[in-house]
């Protein structure tokens, strides 16, 4: 008996993602001018307004209003008719200094003895079903919206798109967990007002999505995945009808409300902690990245076909309180999941400072994570420039998505005798 599994994604113009991107842009600027900054920035966006709040300990000062406005404009909210524009919205900052009660548990005399910034459990997941070791339904959902954003910016083939959008993909699996076909695709995209009546408008949008967007998405996928697209797919395109009012005007956005979109689309598990706006001393973020790094390298090395890795911490305590592994019965080694977890603890140093160092997390690398998923992207080196009326200009070469590197595969193979 086959079964169905669904994942969703949201665009960079979705109000929650606008909030995430502003929070991570603030974090990047703090880290660019003071790499030791401790940051926890939350953002709320609504009609014509942005509210910034949170706790910061840093030796730098930022023009947070201009940073927020720049992010909003780059996303595409540049017109007054959107009721939310980077040039005209109000920006209120309620950011204050970090609590010393928290800080004393994190900062120590030796950086190696840095304690976890909070308690909690974090998860990493990887699967062989895609080339980037991500769940297939989520991977396609992200790609749909990334291509939709490309079409919006080009404005030639589809000229009415606005920044807010959501996607959803349902895949049919066989009993042995092999993708068979795509059952359904949902795309809801904000659009300009049409002169035509609603029925003609919806017909036009559906035709463009199916005939222009989907072929572009398919072309980016491996041949075996392209074969899952057949003429029996059920398309739900703007199923509620007209979608002119959207973005922060249509729905208030908050940092950290799309944590499943950010991770594995409902596959594996999630510890509940959000990522955006948090510096890497917050294990909600850094340990989730480290767990993904572990999971991806284990699957790539052939330890198992699918794996979930959990790590947990106590606030202010250096060593993790536990490391857990679930291979879902797909292990290719003659070891129990508990024995695999023991080897993970030997191979990967999961102390907070060790994670920061190994994955180079005290760098301004986070804005790129804040839309279309924190996991599954290609690691690369880029040069980023930051300018401030208070701090001048800083140019930094940084590595993005270091947790996606397959740099531990050989060590894993050696440890597991593969």
Residue 4: phi, psi to the nearest 5?
-115, 145
Structure tokens at 241: 């009808």
Give residue 264's Cα distance to chain centre.
Answer: 9
Distance CA 3, CA 180 (A): 10
| Helices of type H across 170-308 | 198-208, 214-219, 223-226, 247-250, 259-262, 283-301
Residues 6+ apart with CB under 8 A from 104: 316
Alpha-carbon distance values, 287 to 25, 59, 324 (Å): 21, 25, 13
Residues that constitute the known binding site for ATP: 14, 164-166, 242-243, 251, 257-258, 274, 278
Annotated binding-site residues read: 14, 16, 42, 55, 98, 164-166, 242-243, 251, 257-258, 274, 278, 282
Residues 6+ apart with CB under 8 A from 128: 299, 305, 306
Residue 394: beta bridge partners? 386
Distance from the Cα of residue 261 to its chain's centroid? 7
- Binding-site positions for K(+) read 42
Measured from the Cβ of residue 267, the count of other Cβ atoms closer than 10 Å reads 21
Q: How far apart are CA 19 and CA 43, in angstroms?
A: 5
**CA pair distance 74, 86, nearest whole angstrom:** 9
The residue whose two tokens read 């060590």 is: 411
List residues forming the annotated binding site for Mg(2+): 16
| Binding site members for L-methionine | 55, 98, 251, 282
Residues 193 and 191: their CA atoms lie apart, in Å, by: 7
Which of 138, 133, 132 has its CA nearest to residue 267?
138
Q: Which of 222, 288, 296, 224 is nearest to 260 (CA)?
A: 288
Angle at 371 between CA 312 and CA 70, to 5 degrees: 120
Category of 350 on φ-ψ map: left (φ > 0), alpha (ψ -120 to 50) or beta: alpha
Short-list 227, 262, 278, CA closest to 14: 262
Tokens read off for 128: 């062989």
């Amino acid at each position: 008996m086959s079964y169905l599994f669904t994942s969703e994604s949201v665009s960079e113009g979705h109000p929650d993602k606008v909030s995430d991107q502003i929070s991570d842009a603030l974090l990047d600027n703090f880290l660019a001018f003071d790499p030791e900054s401790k940051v926890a920035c939350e953002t709320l966006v609504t009609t014509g307004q942005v509210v910034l709040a949170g706790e910061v300990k840093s030796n730098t000062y930022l023009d947070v209003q201009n940073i927020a406005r720049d992010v909003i404009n780059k996303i595409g909210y540049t017109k007054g008719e959107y009721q939310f524009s980077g040039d005209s919205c109000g920006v209120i900052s309620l950011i204050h200094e970090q609590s010393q009660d928290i800080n004393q548990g994190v900062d120590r005399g030796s950086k190696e003895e840095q304690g976890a910034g909070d308690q909690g459990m974090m998860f990493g997941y990887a699967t062989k079903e895609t080339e980037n070791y991500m769940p297939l339904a989520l991977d396609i959902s992200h790609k749909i919206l990334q291509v939709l954003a490309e079409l919006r910016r080009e404005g030639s083939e589809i000229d009415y798109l606005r920044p807010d959008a959501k996607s959803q993909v349902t895949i049919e699996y066989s009993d042995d967990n092999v993708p068979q076909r795509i059952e359904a695709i949902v795309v809801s995209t904000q659009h300009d007002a049409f002169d035509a009546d609603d029925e003609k408008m919806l017909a036009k949008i559906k035709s463009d999505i199916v005939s222009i967007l989907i072929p572009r998405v398919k072309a980016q996928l491996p041949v075996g995945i392209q074969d899952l697209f057949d003429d029996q797919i059920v398309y739900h395109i703007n199923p509620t009808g007209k979608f002119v009012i959207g973005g922060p005007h249509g729905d208030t956005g908050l940092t950290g409300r799309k944590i499943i979109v950010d991770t594995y689309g409902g596959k594996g598990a999630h510890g509940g902690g959000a990522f955006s706006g948090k510096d890497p001393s917050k294990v909600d973020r850094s340990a989730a990245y480290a767990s993904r790094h572990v999971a991806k390298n284990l699957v790539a090395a052939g330890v198992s076909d699918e794996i979930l890795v959990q790590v947990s911490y106590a606030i202010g305590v250096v060593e993790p309180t536990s490391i857990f592994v679930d291979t879902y019965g797909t292990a290719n080694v003659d070891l129990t999941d508990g024995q695999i977890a023991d080897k993970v603890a030997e191979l990967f140093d999961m102390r907070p400072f060790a994670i920061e160092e190994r994955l180079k997390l005290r760098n301004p690398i986070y804005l790129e994570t804040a839309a279309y998923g924190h996991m599954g992207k290609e690691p690369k080196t880029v040069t980023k420039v930051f300018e401030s009326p208070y701090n001048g200009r800083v140019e930094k070469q940084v590595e993005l998505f270091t947790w996606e590197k397959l740099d531990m595969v050989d060590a894993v193979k050696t440890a597991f005798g593969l």
